[in-house]
Amino acid sequence: MYQVGKNQSKSIDIFSFPLNSPFIVQLEGFYFYYLLKEETMAHRHAKDFDSRPKKYVLAEFPYPSGSGLHIGHAFTFTGADVYARYERMQGKNVLFPIGWDAFGLPTENYAIRTGRKPQDVTAENTATFRRQMERLGLSFDYERIVDTTDPKYYKWTQWIFIKLFEKGLAYKQEMPINWCPSCKVGLANEEVVNGNCERCGSPTSRRRISQWVVKITDYADRLIDGLEQTNFVEKVKAAQINWIGRSEGARVRFDIVGHDRELEVFTTRPDTLWGSTFMVVAPEHSLVAELCLDQPGVKEYVERARTKSDMERVELSYEKTGVFSGLTAINPATEEEIPVWISDFVLPTYGTGAIMSVPGHDQRDHDFASKYGIEIRPIIKTTDEWDFSQAAYTEHEGIMVNSGPINGLTVKEAIPAAIKWLNDHNKGETSVSYHLRDWIFSRQHYWGEPIPMIHCESCGWVPAPVSDLPITLPDVEKYEPTDTGESPLANITEWVETTCPKCGEPAKRETDTMPNWAGSDWYFLRFVDPNNDDVLADMEKLKYWMPIDVYIGGDEHNTLHLLYSRFIYQFLYDLGVVPADVPEPYYRRMSHGVILGPDNQRMSKSRGNVIVPDVLIDEYGTDVLRAYMMFMGPFDATMAWNERALLGVKRFLERFERLVETQAGTHSETPKEIKALIHKAVDKLNFDLSNFKFNTAVAKMMETLNGISDHGGAVNPADLRMLVQAFAPIMPFFAEEAWAKLGGKGSVHASDWPEVDPALVKEDTVEIPIQVNGKLRGTIVINRDDDQETVDQAARQVEIVAKHLESGTVRKVIYIPAKAINYVVK
RNA sequence: GCCGGAGUGGCGGAACUGGCAGACGCGCACGACUCAAAAUCGUGUACCUACGGGUAUGUGGGUUCGAUUCCCACCUUCGGCACCA
């Protein structure tokens, strides 16, 4: 069917052929199954509203970097592709889309360096990615490609922002942000790792800049509760819950002596209120600026805390520093006067930015009190002798003492009792705090979605009219961010200057752009309806396709991307633009593994251990690469690259190819043993492919081939075709060719998954172990449905077993049908 | 410190709801083919053994007729969070 130049050695540039040209070449002695045949890809298109059951399989879309698709992408996408192909053969209507998360700094930086337009660089990179993907045989529905930098797409990203603004979930605020002096950009908390910029690694500092902030904290509880409706693995759920960091406690109000003011704190231990001997406020707390600046040392301390970089804060974390504020507060429980201190160990962004300090029962407070000579007052009676001069007692065990009305209660009883006391005396109430912060949404960069807001002197911030969307990025000469922290857009007067949509007076556009996450928050909805100009996606189509059945992605996105996109989805849910019966976007989350270099180190250019898929395809062909990647280990594991092991897969493929060559066109009668092997293999692959156990699937393929040759290697082409079908998801090109050679009709990828004969899979006879006192003493072949007596009789005949039974009396015989028989001998 | 995984041959890794530990592949050894090498094909490959067996799935206990699998404690390691009151 396909012309194959058997003994030619020639070099072919595959890119010189149009995509989809039916062609297979052979070079250097073996086949390369990478050129595309229409049949191989023909069934990739998802059909809206088709009557077959739908399956939405999604792998995180990539950032199309200039260095091209790397082996990690290849691994992840291949796994997803195997699964998608398998599901298609199961008769599912599979949506398996791909797109480009193309806004972002690397492209912008590259554009600056080379003096080219980011738009052009992006177009080039995405074309390369696409070509590489097709070469890997990835059966994405390329007609549904979504590009976050396409104005037709980001029109809706902007629309979502306007809705957030309208619902009061986006506001502009001057706030201290993490600033990367190298990238010249503000960073979200989560983009700062150990005080360094996540992207470039330089140390960050703090800066006050007016920022758009999105109130993700309003959804904190929903984001936790919603996890119950998903099938995420424990690790992912835990990471999200951990990240949100919900803690329950109480707010308590302290009066300030000599001022008509209260100082409110958050605590998870209201029971320890009677032991609070001082208070601490963050240097950034409003009370400090209002009342304390005259106190000696305060101004200096506040100034130093402000200029401290995050690095310094982390380094200095062991030695707490502080200064007395000059203020005194009244402990509402003891009515004693207690000092108020200022220290940067109290975070301005958590709780109320102020704490009540209980040095007897909180280690940080203990550290601070010890250093500054503040009273440490125990209020929980510990069972054994506890040296309160050495450490705080922080266990939730013990009996309350010195605590007035809650004396004698256990800690667990005391917490609600203390809250009730606070309520009764109007000094506080139950409260919840979160580690999760609101989401800083501004970036001072060019290559991102413009934030569609207009500032008017008289009307304030006004959203751009929806009819004006998208607000497109203007062409600019220079992409460099400015030192003032403004985005390059600020210099384009004709773009910045506009009129207020509300009053018609002159006004200015927001020049900040959105963070990278914005485009990836909702892309999965757009795949359902990629070209809609009226809504972000058609409701009926969403009802058909959502939720995503499997979402395959990296663990590094378990907190940020996954949380942000769930939040945006929940927000869209509240707007009513996504289906009412789909409260969560992702039903199941699959983590993919990481491929390390041959030296067991993370791949990086500087280490020189990078494996490039294109080179491997040139040398071994797509199918060998795919099968090897799937064979390396469990789909979610961390694995080292081993090119020797890849050769084992190559040998397997060649041996299978030889089998196909020799059996094609024959009419051999397939021996029963071989037939059974084939049916068992199909059965096993059916299980493995549907459970992402690709490594054992490949092992089974190899095992089956070994078995066939052990039994003489004569197989009827019709039986062999079954095997080819089961191999097809993993080795799509080879399977297509073999299918044709063996007389298969149409494309193997459009064929229905073969049905197995249960009688062949589950044989009548089975070999089981014979144990004496749990030790293996022999095996015996029995009929699957033999009763205990029959098996017992037969087992006792086995010589070695008989010998062991003679050493004592048989007290008990345990027979597990078709599994094992065990004699208890004493 | 808190949360979540993982520890199995020389190596990557198998083992469904407790039932023959080490599938499959790599590596290694020997053999066939070859003048020779490569490639290919075949055989073997956990450890000890007085050849009867015995010991082995990080360590120590426990449950069970039987534990890689379940329970408890500990060790190591990877990932996430961490001055979050």
Question: Is A95:A143 a contact under the CB 8 Å cutoff?
Answer: no
Domain residue ranges of chain A, discontinuous segments joined by +: 155-241+438-517, 246-432, 764-825
pLDDT tens by residue, A698-707: 999 999 999 9
Over range A109-113, report the average pLDDT. Answer: 86
Positions of strand B less than 7 angstroms from a protein CB? 3-5, 12-16, 19-21, 23-27, 39-42, 53-54, 65-67, 78-85
CATH superfamily of A246-432: Valyl/Leucyl/Isoleucyl-tRNA synthetase, editing domain (3.90.740.10)
Strand B contact at CB of residue A594, distance < 7 A: no
Strand B contact at CB of residue A30, distance < 7 A: no
Strand B contact at CB of residue A242, distance < 7 A: yes
Give residue A46's pLDDT. 93
What are the b/e assignments for A745-766, b being 16+ CB within 10 Å? eebbbebebbebeeebeeeeee
Preceding peptide of A296 cis, ω within 30°: no
Q: What is the spatial distance between Cα A354 and Cα A264, in angstroms, rounded to a whole number?
A: 7
Residue with minimal CA–C1' distance to B1 is A363
Radius of gyration of chain A (CA): 34
pLDDT tens by residue, A729-781: 999 988 988 998 899 988 899 999 999 999 898 888 888 888 888 888 888 88
Question: Is A580:A572 a contact under the CB 8 Å cutoff?
Answer: no
DSSP annotation of A548 reads B
Q: Which of A473, A490, A489 is nearest to A155 (CA)?
A: A473
Q: What is the spatial distance between Cα A532 and Cα A152, in angstroms, rounded to a whole number?
A: 9
Among chain A residues 548-587, those with CB within 7 Å of any atom of strand B: 555-556, 559
Highest mean pLDDT range out of A110-114, A152-156, A710-714?
A152-156
Q: Kindly give the pairing relationship between strand A337-342 and strand A262-267.
A: unpaired
Q: What is the spatial distance between Cα A346 and Cα A330, in angstroms, rounded to a whole number?
A: 20
Q: Which of A548, A559, A523, A498 is nearest to A244 (CA)?
A: A559
The phi and psi torsions of A650 (rounded to 5 degrees) equal -60, -45
Q: Distances from the Cα of A187 to the Cαs of A191, A197, A267, A346, in angstroms?
A: 6, 8, 29, 21
Reported as a pLDDT band with limits 50, 70 and 90, residue A81 is very high
Strand B contact at CB of residue A699, distance < 7 A: yes
pLDDT at residue A172 above 70?
Answer: yes
Strand B contact at CB of residue A799, distance < 7 A: no
**ipTM score:** 0.94
Strand B contact at CB of residue A698, distance < 7 A: yes
Strand B contact at CB of residue A294, distance < 7 A: no
Using left for φ > 0, alpha for ψ between -120 and 50, and beta otherwise, residue A142 falls in: alpha
Strand B contact at CB of residue A745, distance < 7 A: no
Contacts of A96 (CB under 8 A, 6+ apart): A44, A46, A57, A58, A80, A81, A84, A139, A140, A141
Give residue A13's pLDDT. 40
CATH fold for domain A764-825: Ubiquitin-like (UB roll) (3.10.20)
Helices (H), A95-233: 105-114, 118-135, 151-166, 220-225
Q: What is the spatial distance between Cα A414 and Cα A178, in angstroms, rounded to a whole number?
A: 40
pLDDT at residue A12 above 70?
Answer: no
Give residue A189's pLDDT. 66
Question: Is A355:A368 a contact under the CB 8 Å cutoff?
Answer: no
Over range A282-311, report the average pLDDT. Answer: 86
Preceding peptide of A758 cis, ω within 30°: no
pLDDT tens by residue, A524-581: 999 999 999 999 999 999 999 999 999 999 988 988 999 999 999 999 999 999 999 9
Over range A62-85, report the average pLDDT. Answer: 94
pLDDT tens by residue, A358-376: 999 999 999 999 999 999 9
Q: What is the spatial distance between Cα A290 and Cα A287, in angstroms, rounded to a whole number?
A: 5
Among chain A residues 126-165, those with CB within 7 Å of any atom of strand B: none
CA-to-C1' span, A601 to B24 (A): 25
Reported as a pLDDT band with limits 50, 70 and 90, residue A39 is low
Residue A384's CB: how many other CB atoms inside 10 A?
A: 4
Q: Which of A454, A458, A456 is nearest to A468 (CA)?
A: A454
Among chain A residues 636-695, those with CB within 7 Å of any atom of strand B: 637-640, 642, 644-645, 647-649, 651-652, 655, 693, 695
Strand B contact at CB of residue A190, distance < 7 A: yes
pLDDT tens by residue, A272-283: 999 999 999 999
pLDDT at residue A16 above 50?
Answer: no
Q: Kindly give the pairing relationship between strand A93-95 and strand A54-59.
A: parallel
Helix (H, G, I), strand (E, B) or coil at A534: coil
Strand B contact at CB of residue A388, distance < 7 A: no
Residue with minimal CA–C1' distance to B78 is A638
CATH no., domain A155-241+438-517: 3.40.50.620
pLDDT tens by residue, A199-209: 677 777 777 78
Residue with minimal CA–C1' distance to B24 is A699
pLDDT tens by residue, A575-613: 999 999 999 999 999 999 989 888 888 888 777 888 889
Strand B contact at CB of residue A391, distance < 7 A: no
For the residues of A52-85, what is the DSSP string, one character each? SPEEEEEEPPPP--TT---HHHHHHHHHHHHHHH
Q: What is the spatial distance between Cα A432 and Cα A217, in angstroms, rounded to a whole number?
A: 11
Reported as a pLDDT band with limits 50, 70 and 90, residue A382 is confident
pLDDT at residue A28 above 70?
Answer: no
Over range A256-277, report the average pLDDT. Answer: 95
Strand B contact at CB of residue A353, distance < 7 A: yes
Strand B contact at CB of residue A304, distance < 7 A: no
Strand B contact at CB of residue A706, distance < 7 A: yes
